Amino acid sequence: MVLTFGILLSFGGRGTVSRADDSAEDPEYGSTFGRVRFLDGSMTLQRTSQGDLTDATVNDPVVPGDRLGTEDGRAEIGMSDGSTLWLDRSTRLTVRNLADIDNRYESTNLLALEGGAVRIEAPDSENKNKTFRVDTEAGSVYLLSGGSFRIETDEGVVTLYSFRGVAELSGDDGSVLVRSGERGSVQPGRAPSEPRRFNTARLDDFDRFCEDRLGAYLRRDSDEPVDRIVEEVPYEVHPYVSELSSYGSWHQVPDYGWVWRPVYTGSWGPYVNGYWSWCRTGWVWVSYDPWGWAPYHYGRWDFVVNVGWAWIPGRVWSGAWVSFAVGPSHIGWCPLNYYNRPVFQDTTIVNVVNVNVTRLQPRGWRFVPVGQFSNPRAPRSAVGVDRLPRGTDVVLTSRLPRFDPRDIAGRPERGARFVETVRQNRSPLPVVVGRDNKPLPFRSAERSAGETRARRGAASASPQERSRLQQPRPAVRPGVPAVGPGRNQRRPGDTAQPRGRPAWVPREGARPQAGPRVVPGEPDRSRGRESAPSRQRTAPPARDEGQRREYGRVTRGVARALRCARRRATLRAVRALLRTRRSNGSSTACAVVPASRRPA
């Protein structure tokens, strides 16, 4: 079992507990997200399910459907696929879709720029199906390679600047390629202008802000072998290794591997400096710590001898990896350790429903009044277990339903009803044990979760779902060469045809090369022999019922085709032999077909 929370949606709505919201929880939603990584001034955030604007904070998750806006401030958004997005002042942007970290389940970044300017730093990708698109009223921008791009809209005119990389600027009447050191523009209802060179060293305030931020997370000189750390920690946390190195140190611990210790003093502990907020998948911890993204959403925390509080990297994203303790007036939480149990906690109470607070370890648990649970502006008044009334009983659970803390604060009868609701719908802690009944590390559960998700993703994907964001792009303008030279290159004057998403992604600094076109819904023929079915008989992998039926149908069809081909080959051989004998004057014709060529 794996405890999975979700991404933040700002708290809203009334009512003590909302069952409808619980049923709508989507534990896979956390695989595609962005985060507010830096703010210079303020930025507003409007969630899909709420109409109110809220002030964004650092480490706020950004999810599909969010509307971002800046007035006098600038913002930096980190995206799960490694891209970085900057918003200039007076910018309005809607996030339509986000790709996941390795483009395995979702490979499309889709943004809608309504006004202002954005700068994008996109990494190179070997996934030929990856798409990064920015829509505007006048046209769309497709990033065809990794690089650095600026897109701005002013009075309806959209201008694309390529500091590095190749992008396509499309309008209603065609599109053009904009390469490194070039810019192009398009007006509503018109074709894009011819790309022109610009001075990449002539920067304005926004460009200088972006350039300064590019180096903000570059690793400072120290003794940690970063390359070795990156090789040994889970792939999902690779983008955060250098960033975390600026705020702490890495240590190797037996069994745990590499762990990260933040710089802290005194009685600090994880999940203290921040607040809770609701999203479609559950409650999410939003940390005020500048490094507080990966350590609170991947992996576990533990108190390590000679190290102190340390973060153990993991693979699976979650809103928070904690255990909750719910009482009528206070709610507490405790980090989960390497074995998916509350830190310092007696293992005999791991999955006990009702626990007296005297049995909870003060070193790991933090409690706040119910009314302050999700209020980012309220002064943080966390208290230890010893500050709660001695006879207080709490309910331990790994998940909380959606509720409005303001409706419970100061109302004992509602607090009691809320505790009863949690008791009836509680989720046990995700403890996994081996054959010897000893707890297994949390990474064992993560491997199971990854396999389950891969099977579910393969079974649920459909051509319609995968093509909903693959809108065809306008044709390349006559006279403009297609993407890349080669024998498939479109010559000047040829009629341009609409195209789908780019079939490949050129590497940074290189001119695009011609490649085979991949049509959505058709098999990928670009792999040649690698994509051909093997003739070796092997046991098929485990499949669900629908996959087994489809596999059987395809297998039977291939077998029938092979039998028909053998029959046709045999008949052709017989007829050829008969014709030969007749031409030689033989009155009888007898063909002996080798057994290896006889029809099955």
pLDDT surpasses 60 at 514: no
Q: Which residue has the tokens 């339903």?
A: 401
Short-list 334, 285, 328, CA closest to 423: 328
From the number of C-beta atoms within 10 Å of its C-beta (0-12, 13-18, 19+), residue 32 rates as: buried
Q: Which residue has the tokens 């534990």?
A: 27
Which sequence spans correspond to the domains of the chain?
32-214, 241-448
pLDDT of residue 519: 38
For residue 394, report the phi and psi dihedrals to the nearest 5 degrees: -125, 160
Distance CA 475, CA 489 (A): 14
At residue 526, the 3 state secondary structure works out as coil
Tens digits of residue pLDDT in 27-63: 444 557 899 999 999 999 998 766 678 899 999 999 8
Cβ(97)–Cβ(110) under 8 Å? yes
CA dihedral 203, 205, 206, 209 (to 10 degrees): 100
| pTM as predicted | 0.69
pLDDT of residue 501: 42
Tens digits of residue pLDDT in 274-291: 989 887 668 899 999 999
Question: Considering only the top CATH level, what class is 32-214?
Answer: mainly beta
Distance CA 16, CA 33 (A): 28
Neighbours of 345 (CB within 10 A): 22
pLDDT band at 191; cut points 50, 70, 90:
very high
Tens digits of residue pLDDT in 414-434: 989 999 999 888 887 766 666
Short-list 441, 429, 378, CA closest to 405: 378
Tens digits of residue pLDDT in 434-493: 677 777 888 887 876 555 555 444 444 444 444 444 455 444 443 343 333 333 444 333
